[in-house]
Amino acid sequence: MPQEGKFFELFNAHAEQVVLGSEALVALLSVRNDSDEDAATQCKAIDVIEHRADEITHETMRQLHKSFITPLDREEIHQLITSLDNILDLIQDVAHTVTLYNVRHITTEAINLSEITRSCCERVRTAVTLLPSMDNGPEILKVCHEIDQLESAADREMRGAMSRLFREEPDVRELIKFKAIYELLETITDRCEDVANIIEGIVLENS
């Protein structure tokens, strides 16, 4: 494929930030039961990662406007980088919700959901890394299928978490907090699935 604009390098750089953000989110939720200082450190790390990703997105758009030849359809490039950015925006939303709501403890279900989102993000990075060569088409589609399966697993985890929350949480304020956190975590996997769908479309169109 044509390499003008270094779009694949930019995709890879962004996907790496997505994974770093998901790792920091797991760390944030894991340390939330320990100390406010550790949680603040992880939240700040996510803000820094999200800012780096924004810069990559802006550079991609700049390259898109100045490049005469692009390796993929211009709309596909725009959709892919925007969808990658949406993942990190949601990761940042979870981090801010946890800190702004002053959540003092994290449930096992929230940690489980964060780990599923990390697995989704890792597979997003894998699919993006394979994208420059359509010879990788079958492997890319396999990874996209794994993302779909993880999104379904997140749905099941969230339904179980919600059921337990409404059965066992007597404090309405805590219920509202965790409902929001569970929904945001599950939505991260939805955004990963959006990326997988875009990549599947690219592979099917170009293979």
Residue 118 identity (one-letter amino acid): R
Q: Is residue 1 part of a domain?
A: no
Let me know: does 89 contact 50? Beta carbons within 8 Å: yes
Let me know: does 56 contact 14? Beta carbons within 8 Å: yes
d(CA 110, CA 130): 31
pLDDT of residue 182: 97
pLDDT of residue 42: 84
Which domain CATH number covers 28? 1.20.58.220
* Residue 206 pLDDT class (50, 70, 90 cuts): confident
**Coil, strand, or helix at residue 156?**
helix
**Coil, strand, or helix at residue 207?**
coil
For 100-121, the pLDDT digits (tens) are 888 878 999 999 999 999 999 9
d(CA 193, CA 40): 29
pLDDT of residue 197: 97
pLDDT of residue 34: 55
Q: Is residue 20 part of a domain?
A: yes
Tokens of 133: 């060569």
What pTM, to 2 d.p., does this model score?
A: 0.92
Q: Is residue 207 part of a domain?
A: no
Domain that holds residue 61: 7-202
d(CA 140, CA 203): 8
Q: Is residue 148 part of a domain?
A: yes
Split into its structural domains, the chain has a count of 1
d(CA 47, CA 91): 10
For 64-85, the pLDDT digits (tens) are 888 878 888 999 999 999 999 9
Tokens of 163: 């059921």
Tokens of 135: 């010879």
Q: Which residues contact 183 (CB under 8 A, 6 or more apart)?
A: 158
Phi, psi angles (nearest 5°) of residue 82: -65, -40
Q: Is residue 113 part of a domain?
A: yes
Q: Is residue 124 part of a domain?
A: yes
Tokens of 185: 């975590």
